[in-house]
Structure 1
Amino acid sequence: MSATTKPTSIETASSTAADVDGRTEGGLKKSLRLLFVYTLATGAIFTFVCYWDGIFLSYCGPGTWLGFLLMTAMVLPIGFVYAELSTMLPSTGSCLVFNTVGMNKHAGFWSAWLIMCAWLAVPAAGVLGILEWLNYQFLDNGLTGSYAVIVGAVLLCLWCLVSLCKNVVAGGLQTAMLFIAIGGLLVTSALFFFSGHWSLSNFSSFFANANAGDYGIGLGWIIGCAFLITPYFGFETVPAMVEEGTFPIKDQKKAILGSVLTCGIIYAIFYLAEAGCIDWNTYAFDSAPFVTFETLKLVFPDAGWMGWFVVALGIFGVVFPIGTSVLGFWYSAVRMLFAMGRQNFLPKSFAKCNRYGQPVIPNLLILAISIGFLAMQSITAFFDLMAFACAICYAMSSISAILLDVRHPEWERPYRAPGGIAMKVASLVISLAVAVFCCIGIGVETWVGFAGYMGVGLVLWCAMLAKWRVKGKDSTVWMRTPAGVIEY
């Protein structure tokens, strides 16, 4: 790492991160309350519960609820590390910032590119979920081909418009959708538990899973459990919104850790309730979506109200979770691209904002990429791609946290992860373990998609290398640190 402290005319970092960079016209506006940041992060994490239910239940069978509890415990150390890093380095960009400061600008770029692999896949995956639900519930699979792409593109345009509006619009919409979804899923859990069909006998084949035929029961279940990291990535969106928060920087930890715990508890309760009502001897383990709807119809075959309840569950169990997840990741990816433009990883035009303080070009680019991703029709390919990319990015951030502990113990840390460097080592080991087990279970289609995405990143990286070799103001990137604004 080559780093030099800039003159004092450029403002140094502070524990409040009150200012945006003076070299950028406009900028992000401070208008997000802690509740909005929590709901944006929790909504981003909150997975497509009643759409990806088939994937979860196929990967971990009756023990899916235990898999979620284990993954919650495994993700928490990573959350602790991100909570410390985000309060010490409170600038939009999260892993871009952490790994540039912790290692170098190349690590910063590639970690950002990896996490955006997951973030940018979410809008298209979400649209596919809504289209499949419409086909399942109302259209008898009549929405396909070019018509599906057109409807999907319209939905993506609506998300883009919301992202370009004031923060309070997105924050309020996210809060409403999230809490309605959580309430609806808890009601559904209660229906399963008290249906008269919930039985411990349905857990007799506890570790049955879709990978058992290839890897055996034990290893197959562990591989499936590793992929469950996908429903947890999203807490890293909190640092992406740090410059827009109206709350003390140290309170970021509440949004990061609170979002992980909230989602983990809801997942465990919901899938414990559902698994106890499924006849696992007849379950296909084929990752087909909407298992919850079919289970409800089997459990309550004579209930006249079940028809409208399944439609309502589709709204608060499919549409709302997808809406919150897409909006949270869209917001975060926009701010990652904004930071890359502002800090000389990408052209300065990426840091231009509209009158509401929303970056324009990043929003339009994400819209275009998401429409292109609609061609990737496999939901399991999306799922696996997100899991692997997130695990590698988390490992890189854990390495940076360890290096910063060693190199700069004097830097102010408004929040310190419990356990010190041991917690950071645990975060690294967990991230690498998840990545390894994901590698074992990833299919050819996912690897092809990942290689194509990384190939695009390689082209951008080479272009930046050429740009950085030219002497002048464009030859370095910069980051705010507790020691001031530093060039790398």
Structure 2
Amino acid sequence: MANSSVGLKRELGLFSVIALAAGAVLGGWLAEAPYWFQLTGAGAAIIFPILAIILIPVGLAFSELTAMLPFSSAVDVWSSSAMNSSTGWATQWMFFLVQVVEPPLVAFIFVTAAGYFVDLSDVVKPLIAIGIMVIWYIVSNFNIDLTGKLAVVFFIVMVGITLIDSIYYFFSGHWELTNITAHGGFFPNGIYGAIAGASALVLKYIGFGMTPTLIQEAKFPARKMITVILAALFIPAVVYMIATFAIGGLAPHNVIAHLSIPEPQLVNSLDMAGIIGLFAIGSGLLYAFTTLMGFWTSSARVLYGASQLRQLPPWFSKTNKHGQPYIANIVVLAFGIFFALFTSTDWVQYIYSLSVVAAGIVYFLVCLSAYRLRTKQADWKRPYRSPAGKPMFVIGMAVSAAITIVGVTLLPASAWVPILIYIVIGVLVPVAMRIYRRRVGGYEPIILTPDDRDVAGAGE
């Protein structure tokens, strides 16, 4: 099955990566919306575009570093170059957490959607989620071109349905502005709720951060990653703003906060056209599946990239005849099952808070790396250069620190056990690798530079 000489294949076009990234940002809101309304009401409609703007400095750091060091190892090679291999591994391990918790999250969205039609016990739910991940594990071992084509089709269909449904809600005769203004306003929980909501909703933008891991499979120049990242920030911002405002006008925020999947339930309770509710479920599942595809692919590339830098054994960089890192896919499945088994009935808050804290740490280290490399490697070619340079990266670090601090306050008790286990595993991996190197010899960690583009198959 394996053929380590095949390597990753360049089969993803610009729009395919945009569809994967923007689709991953949009994924999951079918069942996650109640959490938004619980935190900050319909004000989420305003928070989404604000967050897109606030995250621009972080996106610029990702764009500059991807163009300069276009490797699937992404945050690992950036932090290793700016600091050292140990920091690179720590950044990569935290980045892997951001990516790998997403597949079980969206798998539970499928479970929630199924619960709309059939009663499911708490014992059965994780098993269904695991079954969905196993199905995608099988598909993930085929050409990535299949993932890219599915992402494009799903993206067009699901965004189209969302806009049609939103327009229907506005003109249904049931949409009332007073559902928003007469029940505490846009931010019924005040400034704290708005800040908590903004911190939690950062999760919805994590999709833009996974795109650099796909750069070795992209058919477009690495300097165009800025286009992908900005699209992944602002397309979802517009869609979320319209959809959240449309849903928020159908019922008071405290009603929506207690629904499991608001759109079809509101359609049913308000006696609107049943087909609209089914469309909402269908588009929601497409969003979820796109998210599953994107983050699964990225998770496997994170492991592949760490193997490129010899921080993991060479097995992780082995690919099958379709150019897929099949061992990395197995590990992603294992972690997906691990987090699915630890997920309880408050799965949305559990995975939101877990991801936000990890993402804030990664964003900070990426902005710090971009800052340090402007001085440390000032002569390296930067096909894309972020405007404002170091001051922009300082702003990115400040934003990232705020995200992390607020995210920690949202962590439920159920999140601490798996995250501590995960950190322990991350500490033990370098120890195990030292033992492995003594056994095999000649496998010391390396740090890739712009001169290694062709050697690693990264190209321009």
Matches within 5 A, 1:72-151: 72-136=52-116, 138-139=117-118, 141-142=119-120, 144-145=122-123, 147-151=124-128
> Where do residues 109-258 of structure 1 align in structure 2 (5 Å cutoff)?
109-136=89-116, 138-139=117-118, 141-142=119-120, 144-145=122-123, 147-204=124-181, 205-208=184-187, 212=189, 217-258=190-231
**Other-structure match for 1:408:** 377
Show structure 2 runs of 5+ residues with no match. Answer: 456-460
Structure 2: distance between partners of 1:271 and 1:484? 43
AA aligned opposite 1:179: I
Q: Provide closer, same or farther for how the CA distance between residues 342 and 482 of structure 1 changes in structure 2, counting only shifts above 3 A.
A: closer
Is 1:315 aligned to residue 282 of structure 2?
A: yes
CA contact (8 A) 2:23 2:287 kept: yes
Q: How big is the shift at 1:371?
A: 2.0
Cα distance per residue 1:207-241 (max 9 Å; x no partner): 545xx4xxxx3223212211110000011222111
Q: Any idea what the Cα deviations from partners look like across 1:423-482, whole Å, max 9, x if unmatched?
A: 111111111111111122222222232212112111113323555688952222231335
How far apart are residue 369 of structure 1 and its match? Answer: 1.8
Show the counterpart of 1:15. Answer: none
Which of 251, 255, 258 is equivalent to 1:283? Answer: 255
How far off its partner does 1:393 sit? 0.5
Which secondary structure state, in structure 1, belongs to the residue aligned with residue 59 of structure 2? Answer: helix
Measured against aligned partners, the alpha-carbon deviations of 1:329-365 in whole angstroms (never above 9, x if no partner) come to 0001111111112321111111110011111100111
Instruction: Write out aligned runs for 1:364-403 (5 A).
Output: 364-375=330-341, 376-377=343-344, 378-403=347-372
Task: Work out whether 1:335 is the aligned partner of 2:301.
Answer: yes
Q: SS at the partner of 1:283?
A: helix
Question: Which residue in the other structure is 1:259 paired with?
Answer: 232
Match of 1:295 in 2: 266
Alpha-carbon distance, 1:69 to partner: 1.6
- Cross-structure match for 1:269: 242
1:101-140 deviation per Cα after TM superposition (whole angstroms, max 9, x unaligned): 111111111111112112111111111110121011x21x
Partner of 2:458: none
Give the equivalent residue in structure 2 for 1:18.
Answer: none
Distance in 2 (CA, whole Å) between partners of 1:478 and 1:351 is: 16
Deviation at 1:95, TM superposition (A): 0.8
How far residue 408 of structure 1 moved from its aligned partner, in angstroms, is 1.8
Higher helix share: 2
* CA–CA separation in structure 2 for the residues paired with 1:312 and 1:333: 30
**1:322, distance to aligned residue in structure 2 (A):** 0.7
Contact 2:14 2:219 in 1 (8 A): yes
- Aligned CA distance change for structure 1 residues 149 and 66 (closer, same or farther; 3 Å): closer
TM-score with structure 2 length normalisation? 0.92
| Distance in 1 between residues matched to 2:10 and 2:236, nearest whole Å | 27
Deviation at 1:484, TM superposition (A): 8.1
Q: Secondary structure at the match of 2:448?
A: strand
Q: Which amino acid aligns with 2:144?
A: N
Work out the CA distance in 1 between the residues paired with 2:440 and 2:376.
28
The worse-fitting range, judged by mean Cα deviation, of 414-423 and 370-379 is 370-379
1:436 aligns with 2:405: yes
Inter-partner Cα distance in structure 1 for 2:235 and 2:33: 18
Count of aligned pairs between the two proteins? 448
Task: Tell me how far 1:152 sits from its aligned partner.
Answer: 2.9
Aligned residue number for residue 415 of structure 2: 446
Distance 1:155 1:484, change over 3 A: closer
CA deviation map 1:55-114 (0-9, x unaligned): 111111121111112111111221111011100101112111111111111111111111
Identity of aligned residues (%): 25
Using the alignment, how far apart are the partners of 2:413 and 2:130 within structure 1? Answer: 27
Matched position secondary structure for 2:101: helix
Offset of residue 149 of structure 1: 4.2
Q: Tell whether the 8 Å contact from 1:235 to 1:259 is kept in structure 2 after alignment.
A: yes
Alignment-mate amino acid for residue 265 of structure 2: E
- Is the contact made by 1:59 and 1:225 (CA closer than 8 Å) also made in structure 2? no
Check whether the contact 2:165–2:276 (CA below 8 A) recurs between aligned residues: no
Shift of 1:24: 5.7
Letter in 1 for 2:38: S
Alpha carbon RMSD of aligned pairs, Å?
2.2
SS in 1 for 2:449: strand
Contact 2:41 2:186 (C-alpha < 8 Å) held by counterparts: yes
Aligned partner of 2:10 in structure 1 is 30
Letter in 2 for 1:446: A
* Runs of 5+ unmatched residues, structure 1: 1-22
- Tell me how far 1:314 sits from its aligned partner: 0.6
Aligned partners of 1:193, 1:202: CA distance in 2, in Å? 13
Matched residues in 1 for 2:375 and 2:364: separation? 17
Q: Which residue of 2 aligns with 1:354?
A: 320
| Cα distance change of structure 1 residues 483 and 345 upon mapping to structure 2, 3 Å threshold | closer
SS at match of 1:183: helix
For residues 286 and 246 of structure 2, the distance between their equivalents in structure 1, rounded to whole angstroms, comes to: 21
Report the AA paired with residue 403 of structure 1.
R
